[in-house]
Chain A
Amino acid sequence: MTATIAQSQVFRVSAARWVRKPSSAVLMGVGLALPALCFLALFLMIPAVRLIAAGFLTQDSRGALGGPVTLSHFTHFFATALYSHVLVVTLRISLWTAALAAVLGYPVAMVMTRSHPAITRIVTFITIAPLIVSVVVRSYGWQLILGNGPAGLLNYVLLSTGVIQTPLRLLYSETAVVIGSLHVFLPMMVLPLASALGRIEPHLEEAARTLGMPAWRVFHRITLPLSLPGLAVGFTLVFSLTAGSFVTPAMLGGTNAQMLGNLIDQQITAVYDWPFGATIATVLVAIVVSVNLFSMRVLDGKRRASA
């Protein structure tokens, strides 16, 4: 009994299991996905291709795009130290934010799915509510908290309790951007993770406990691996969203933590250098796609390994 249930809980490549004849399943699959595909093809793919293409074109003084086809924008991007630096900063901030979101989000997700309903409700609400508060206003709140000098709320608290002697310089740094981004995107980690955790069959864990496994081992060997899809979803989501953001880096990082999103914003709104803006956007998209593909590979690998 336990073995069957355990087996059913293990990930399977679902392609192996369907009841209908193969061809009609494929047809049904195509039919199911078609509306979404058409929608996306029309409203995202076409503009996306136009955008990426723009990175290889030239813009005349009238603002129109056309020939000659050129790699100059890309070479300019990679040859100028400024942009490589911003690229590295973007990667660093996004990775840190995603990693911290995983570390902080996991306990929250565990509590959300394995507590008294009242606690679950409170935790859910606190986690989700910030999503609806404008990111500009939230960042302003963080500015006040992380303010440099004794007037900043955090500094005020730490100084008066004697934890530190000199005020911390947090505002306008990469750290501040990580903190702000973490605050904005934490729900994006917690909710997929909670969804994955909530569906883990409790009998598995109970069985392991009755067999004498200590609690931490149960977590390490059963809960954690089974929640991996949710964790991966959350990680890549937080990474992708942080990498493309521009409001939080502008307000909390200023000149010290410029990210690719800020550069794109500048190109589009300030100088309207569409090809160069497209170039930066393409680099950003390439990074994010790579991370997403990598995590999907790892996930599928794990899934097939345990099938």
Chain B
Amino acid sequence: MSARLTGGMAWLFYPLTAATMLFVLAPLAVIVAMSVSANAFAAFPPRGFTLAWYGRVLADPDFLSSLSFSAMLAAAATAGALLFGLPAAFALTRCAVPGREALRVILLSPLIFPVLVVGVALLRLFSDWNSNSAPFNLLIGHILVTTPYVVRTVTASLLLADLSLEEAARTLGAGWFRVFRRVTLPQIAPGVAAGTLFAFMVSFDNYPISMWLADAQYVPMPMLIYRQVASIFTPAVPATSTLMILFAFVVVVLMERLAGLRRAMAM
């Protein structure tokens, strides 16, 4: 169990955190307020109160198909990011691979490249290869931009993991997989959990890549929202965003249940 914040530190950190939380919530509160407005257009301050817009959004087939597509894409991209990123993080921190610095730069480079440019470059690439399947192209693009997050967070965790425990386990005769599963993995759980959460969320809200690689049948949420905002900006758009916040809540709770995020972080 990590030490609880007490004394002078608590007096300093709790109020600061509360203020930051208010900062984070402010525009979200505005958005939620706009979503219940009875106006024909999204305006602030809202006039009247109605939940009708939510009904309209939930009944919209475009919204539902977009939501499920984005969720599946994000899940698949996260799986891909873990598949590539976890071993890579290990290679970076545990093995004396020559040219580690260069390797690290390469692995983290998708974060460095302007996403807009990556999107167009991928479009060109897929076109040259005659790869016309939008879900496939989107998956590649999303794995590309989410893997670095996994690598980063897992590397940070690995650096802090206690190697002597692993050594002890090995000298006691445990095979490398057993050591990994029983000793290493629990220690890096926060890094893996954080990376997974990041990857999912980043993929879900990714606009610059999706913009170039999506097509008519496969419309990720950010594009749907952008399209609606550019169209007529009714309270349906803030309603959609509020539903997204609820969705985020569900995802975070799920992560907690499955990966013990809270427990791992609070230790």
Contact = CB atoms under 8 A, between A and B. Distances in A.
Interface stretch (A12-20, A79-87, A169-177): A12-20
Nearest to B107: A36
Given A43-B144, A44-B109, A133-B28, 14 more contacts: A8-B163, A17-B163, A39-B147, A51-B117, A113-B2, A132-B247, A135-B205, A188-B198, A191-B198, A200-B2, A202-B1, A233-B156, A260-B114, A284-B114
A186 interface: yes
Determine the interface band of chain B, counting residues with CB < 8 A from chain A.
35 or more
A121 B161 CA distance: 24
Contacts of A43: 122, 125, 140-141, 144
A134 B201 CA distance: 11
B72 to A, nearest CB: 15
A194 B190 CA distance: 9
A292 B108 contact: yes
Interface of B is mostly: helix
Interface string A121-132: 101111111111
Contacts of A39: 84, 143-144, 147
Given A126-B21, A281-B114, A132 B244 contact: yes
B265 interface: yes
B266 interface: yes
A115 B4 contact: yes
Contact of B103 (A37, A44, A115, A288): A37
Given A47-B121, A206-B3, A296-B104, A134 B207 contact: yes
Contacts of A195: 153, 156-157, 190-191, 194, 265
Interface string B8-28: 110011101100110111111
Contacts of A47: 118, 121-122, 124-125
A64 interface: no
A131 B202 contact: yes
B52 to A, nearest CB: 19
A263 to B, nearest CB: 10
16 contacts: A31-B87, A32-B88, A32-B91, A36-B87, A36-B107, A37-B103, A107-B12, A120-B266, A124-B252, A132-B205, A134-B222, A136-B207, A199-B161, A199-B267, A214-B8, A229-B156
A268 B175 CA distance: 53
Given A137-B241, A144-B30, A230-B156, A129 B265 contact: no
Interface of A: 4, 8-9, 11-12, 14-15, 17-19, 22, 25-26, 28-33, 35-37, 39-41, 43-48, 50-51, 104-105, 107-108, 110-117, 120-121, 123-138, 140-142, 144-145, 153, 183, 186-188, 191-192, 194-196, 198-200, 202, 205-206, 214-216, 219, 226, 229-230, 233, 237, 240-241, 244, 246-247, 260-261, 264-265, 268, 277, 281, 284-285, 288-289, 292-293, 296
Nearest to B85: A36
A129 B266 contact: no
Contacts of B214: none
B125 A183 contact: no
Contacts of B108: 292
Given A32-B91, A113-B2, A133-B245, A247 B194 contact: no
Nearest to A262: B116
B156 A114 contact: no
4 A-B pairs with the lowest CB-CB distances in the bound complex, closest first: A29-B95, A141-B27, A47-B121, A33-B91
Contacts of B202: 131
B105 A285 contact: no
Interface of A is mostly: helix
Contacts of A137: 31, 225, 229, 237-238, 241
B183 interface: no
Contacts of B144: 39-40, 43-44
B107 A219 contact: no
B111 interface: yes
Nearest to A48: B113
A153 B26 CA distance: 10
Contact of B90 (A32, A246, A281): A32
Nearest to A131: B201
